[in-house]
Amino acid sequence: MTLEQALEEARKLYPGLKLTPATARVWAHRGLIPKAEAAPGQGMGRGRVGDYSSDVPAQVAAAGFVKQGLRQRFKDADIARARQFWLSGGKAQGEEAEAILPGFLAAAMYRDRWFGIYEAESLHKALDVLIYASRLEMARRGMDVSQPVRAEFRVIFSDYPTVAVTLKSIEPTEGRDEIIVTARDIEEPA
């Protein structure tokens, strides 16, 4: 699919999207959306045509909404970090997990363990992931990303800094967004 086709499809998922092809290429450079794969046989004076995957409209709609459609807009780096985390399977290990796990536990109000001092930055990173992931998953299901949603996530973690986040359910709702987070230590029985 071309960039113009991807933007047209993204506007169906987020009708308020204001994005030109030139700005979309800047977003791709900053990591908010994927870059195009060069089409084979292009170049050498014949121009260059990019090919985009079928998931690009959903990613454009999600990035567009969190960048343009919220009262408190996300910074490009926050969108890129949340996108990378979610597209990598919602998993992190080592220092990355150590930085974000307290935020997920705070979002889940997990009280069985103490993981050091509560950090607002960690909660901010965790909320970025949850908000971005809920909008991307709405778009992947063909839902309008600007509509209120009830999304439920599960966080599984271990003492060795490891965290895995999965989407349990997502459905449209009336009124306000609801993001529910449950947490479980990998050592606990299911």
CA-wise closest residue to 137 among 106, 168, 115: 168
Strand partners, 172: 149
Q: Is residue 190 part of a domain?
A: no
Tell me if 42 is assigned to some domain. yes
Alpha helices in 50-119 (DSSP H): 56-64, 76-87, 94-108
Whether the predicted pLDDT of 39 surpasses 70: no
Weakest mean pLDDT among 104-108, 123-127, 184-188: 184-188
Inside any domain, residue 20: yes
Distances (CA, A) of 85 to 27, 51, 65, 73, 103: 17, 24, 18, 19, 14
Distance (Å) of CA 169 to CA 7, 13, 123: 27, 19, 21
Q: Is the pLDDT of residue 50 over 90?
A: no
Residue 143 lies in a domain: yes
CA 19-22-28 angle, 5° bins: 85
Mean local confidence (pLDDT), 179-187: 87
Q: How many domains does the chain have?
A: 1
Q: How far is CA 125 from CA 106, 121, 130, 136, 178, in A?
A: 11, 6, 9, 16, 18
Tens of pLDDT, residues 142-177: 999 999 999 999 999 987 889 999 999 999 999 899
Mean pLDDT of the chain: 88
Distance CA 64, CA 68 (A): 6
Q: What is the pTM of this model?
A: 0.87
169 falls within a domain = yes
Indicate if the pLDDT at residue 41 is higher than 60: no
> Model confidence at 31, in pLDDT bands (50, 70, 90)?
very high
Q: Encoding tokens for residue 54?
A: 């079928």
At 190 the pLDDT is 56
In a domain, 139, yes or no: yes
In a domain, residue 15? The reply is: yes
| Cβ atoms of residues 103 and 123 within 8 Å | yes
Query: Which domain, by its residues, includes 143?
Result: 3-185
* pLDDT one-digit tens code per residue, 120-147: 888 899 999 999 999 999 999 999 999 9
Residues 77, 63: Cα–Cα separation, whole Å: 11
Q: Is position 99 within any domain?
A: yes
Cα–Cα nearest to 140, from 8, 24, 12: 12
Query: In this predicted model, what pLDDT tens digit does every residue of 76-105 receive, in sequence order?
Result: 999 999 999 999 999 999 998 888 988 898
- What is the rounded average pLDDT of the residues 45-64? 84
